[in-house]
Structure 1
Amino acid sequence: MQLTTFFFVCITNASSTQFWPGFKILLVTVVVLLAVKNYKFLVLVSHALFLMIP
């Protein structure tokens, strides 16, 4: 559960600060791969992605 929180914080931080695009793409890729294996994580990621939308 702490790992899920960690990725959630990373996503929200990546959307609020000026990270280079490569890091964002890498982060999203890792998150998606983890989400495929964990349905609850997928739900959390979907909410995080909505936060990334300006």
Structure 2
Amino acid sequence: MPIEIKELHIKAVVVADQQSLMSRESINLAKLKREISEEVLRKLMQKLGQKNER
């Protein structure tokens, strides 16, 4: 049975200085990957829990 996830939250930081962006980019990239993974895992576990309740 396929699982459909209907929500996706995207966060972005807008800065004017290009050098600041380059230094923050590597830090933010790892943080964003972790946040996305945690959110997807949380929603997946929630859907599986709902499926088991039926």
TM-score by length of 1: 0.39
Task: Report which of the two structures shows the higher radius of gyration computed on alpha carbons.
Answer: 2
Per chain length, whose mean CA-contact separation is higher, i.e. which structure has more relative contact order (CA < 8 Å, sep 6+)?
A: 2
Q: Which has the higher helix share?
A: 1
